[in-house]
């Protein structure tokens, strides 16, 4: 039955985006909710595919117009959120919707949609592994990297508020577990 929401949240670098893309390749009836953000686009990112890049003023304007299901200022002047139009467009197409969102956003969506949603927390094997993954990306300054790791420590503390914790210590195993979590949820 379409109209269910599948939320994947995790600290930055835990592998949620990779897992979400894997799930999307397995099921044609799942649509991806493209988040909006205020930050600058990275070299490998495409507007309207990876994010809706709105800039700070554009994002704040949409907040003022009540155009978000949820939003958060993750870092100073770095806003992320889920646009109502994005979500409703997918639901109106008869799709289930998958989200790749930060921890606060995931909990907010789950709270708003209740049993219509499942919230999955992707758990990194350790903070040391998380640091290695973030360093391997080479997209962050040392200061930004440390800020992400500090935030990750806080996010790990609320993992028990999610419906499911998915340990990502082996990617193939995490893929298989994620597929099972999603198929079980959608079959109910």
Q: Domain residues of the chain, as ranges?
A: 5-187
- The dihedral built from the CA positions of residue 26, 27, 28 and 32, taken in this order, carries a sign that is negative
Cα dihedral 165/168/174/180 (nearest 10):
0
Three-state DSSP class for residue 76: coil
Confidence of residue 136 (pLDDT cuts 50, 70, 90): confident
Q: Which helix (H) or strand (E) holds 28?
A: none
Beta carbons of 113 and 91 less than 8 angstroms apart: no
Q: Mean of the pLDDT values across residues 74-96?
A: 94
pLDDT value, residue 98: 97
Q: Mean of the pLDDT values across residues 151-177?
A: 95
In angstroms, the CA 94 to CA 112 distance is 20
The DSSP letter of residue 64 is: H
Domain 5-187 homologous superfamily, CATH: P-loop containing nucleotide triphosphate hydrolases (3.40.50.300)
Confidence of residue 118 (pLDDT cuts 50, 70, 90): very high
55-94 as b/e, with b when 16 or more CB fall inside 10 Å? Answer: eeeebbebeeeebbbbbbbbeeeebbbbbeebbeebbeee
In tens, the pLDDT along 105-117 reads 999 999 999 999 9
Instruction: Share the mean pLDDT of the chain.
Output: 92
Of 51-65, 68-82, 120-134, 150-164, where does the model show the most confidence? 51-65
Question: Strands 96-101, 164-167: parallel, antiparallel or unpaired by DSSP?
Answer: unpaired
Residue 39, token pair as written in the block: 């930050």
In tens, the pLDDT along 59-84 reads 999 999 999 999 999 888 999 999 99
């Amino acid at each position: 039955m379409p109209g269910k929401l599948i939320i994947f949240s995790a600290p930055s670098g835990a592998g949620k985006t990779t897992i979400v893309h894997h799930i999307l390749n397995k099921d044609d009836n799942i649509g991806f909710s493209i988040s909006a953000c205020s930050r600058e686009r990275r070299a490998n990112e495409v507007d309207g595919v990876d994010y809706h890049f709105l800039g700070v003023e554009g994002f704040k304007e949409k907040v003022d117009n009540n155009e978000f299901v949820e939003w958060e200022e993750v870092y100073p002047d770095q806003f992320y959120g889920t646009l109502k139009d994005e979500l409703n467009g997918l639901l109106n197409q008869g799709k289930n919707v998958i989200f790749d969102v930060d921890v606060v956003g995931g909990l907010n969506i789950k709270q708003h949609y209740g049993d219509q949603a499942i919230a999955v927390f992707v758990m990194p094997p350790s903070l040391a592994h998380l640091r290695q993954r973030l360093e391997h990306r080479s997209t962050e300054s040392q200061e930004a990297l440390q800020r992400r790791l500090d935030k990750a420590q806080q996010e790990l503390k609320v993992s028990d508020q999610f419906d499911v914790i998915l340990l990502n210590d082996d990617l193939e195993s995490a893929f298989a577990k994620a597929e099972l979590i999603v198929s079980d949820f959608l079959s109910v």
